[in-house]
Amino acid sequence: MKKRASIALSAFAIGGLVALTGCTAGSAPSEGQDKVLKVAYIKTDAFTALDTLFTTTKADFEAANEGVTVELQPIAATDDDYKIKLALSQRSAETAPDIFYEDTTALRADADAGYLLNLDEYVSKWEDWDQFTDAAKEAGKGDDNSIYAVSLGTDTRAVWYSKPVFEAAGIALPWEPKSWDDIMEAARQIKASSPDVVPFNFYAGTGTGEGSNMQGFYQLLYGTELGGDSLYDSETSKWVTGSQGFIDSLAFVDELYTEELALTPAQALDPNIWKSIFGEMFPNATLGATIEGSYTPSFWQTGGSYEWPGYVDDMGATVFPTQNGQNPGGVSMSGGWTLAVGAKTADPQLAFDFMAMALSKDNALAYDNENSQIAVRKDVAADESYIAANPFVRTVTDIVEVTNFRPATADYNQISAEVQKANEAVITDKASPEEAAAAYDKAIEAIVGPEGVIQK
């Protein structure tokens, strides 16, 4: 989860679809009128890179296409709320955008729902398509193996730690934990040496939404015995229940919070806690470590939300270890957002052309550098400025070797919500790890049916 400013869901109910109304995407303009392309995407205090990208592309595209107006429609929302608002906009040609920011986890469901334009014929004629990695191409595929979106970039997760805090606790640097026990040992050591420092932030619960899974629980679950099949069994296409790894992961969370090695539950459930973590705690050396995405330096770089030149010297990054140090030795989660063309657009070729310009080498390079993204274009990855833009780029890129991707199924969002609830029940002492895991199993079976689960 890239952290983004939060807006309560009720605001959407009150505001309706105001931000997405305007020129109809599904009908051609009357004769003599300019063509209008509507572009919907997230823009928050912490995430402005996409707005920069589209503002630049808008100016260049309008200059190259007389009579075309690009209408930018930035939406201030969390990732989850943005997806809800986008889904609501797709119900009508009056509100559906022509081009929009699309999460890979929602892509297959949205393609099945008929919201996304099939891009096969367009990418087949696009010279730049060969520059995209095979993994990036896979990210944009629907269940029918057709392309419905094009990747903007990807990310990995790492443990970001404060060198001053670790040095004060007498922990040797560089820190390279090999197991969950190593994480706990370091956290206890920090607490003993610096009582005013939060040893280890671990996102958990519904407050931070999907981020509490991606930057929290999944780092544990995917590092247990079942590895990449810990949440969803790829061979049978069924959701895993009855897992000892699920219980073990919740037990780790319980231990961390019970020993007060993490934030308080109230802080953890604050959707905006990340602002304190990156804007205050790390710069002031009052936090030992957290799990966060490869984009983390973008918060502190020049132009970022919390400019802090000292991060280059004061921060370290390492891969999160597996439960007992078993192969592959580390674990990460990767996500990624794409650009898609709406199925209701009045001019598919024009909309694709805008998207292609936004994803050109120069634009992709600028976006990846500003947003600390892992490049999905080969020519961008080889560019010297990309390599030099972020002192941690090699570390977070190497973690790709042990990364995992969430199941891109239509019911994933419901499953994700149940994972969050299980974690929240544990950190708030409403359930033991065993009880929370049992409640999770029951909820999952209710969502997908007995035939949709497998006990492992």
Crossing angle, helix 348-358 and helix 49-64, to 10 degrees? 130
Ramachandran area for residue 134 (φ above 0: left; ψ -120 to 50: alpha; else beta): alpha
Structural domains of the chain, with CATH: 34-147+337-372 (3.40.190.10), 157-334+406-455 (3.40.190.10)
Cα separation, 440 vs 279, in Å, equals 34
pTM of the predicted model as reported, rounded to 2 decimal places: 0.79
Exposure of 91 by Cβ count < 10 A (0-12 exposed, 13-18 middle, 19+ buried)? exposed
Q: Supply the mean pLDDT for the chain.
A: 91
Cβ-proximal residues to 370 (8 Å cutoff; 6+ apart), any chain: 49, 52, 298, 301, 303
Specify the residue for token string 């099939």: 118
Cα separation, 318 vs 333, in Å, equals 14
Q: Tens digit of pLDDT for each residue in 167-201?
A: 999 999 999 999 999 999 999 999 999 999 999 99
Task: Name the token pair of 335.
Answer: 């996500």
User: Between 397 and 362, where is the model more confident?
Assistant: 362
pLDDT at 3: 39
Residue 9 has pLDDT above 50, yes or no: no
Q: Tens digit of pLDDT for each residue in 63-94?
A: 999 999 999 999 998 887 898 899 899 988 88
Which helix or strand (DSSP H or E) is residue 443 part of?
helix 433-448
Q: Tens digit of pLDDT for each residue in 283-312?
A: 999 999 999 999 999 999 988 889 999 999
Q: Which amino acid is at 37?
A: L
Q: Assess contact for 155 and 295: CB atoms under 8 A.
A: yes
Q: Which amino acid is at 11?
A: A
Phi, psi of 16 (to 5 degrees): 60, -135
User: Between 106 and 438, where is the model more confident?
Assistant: 438
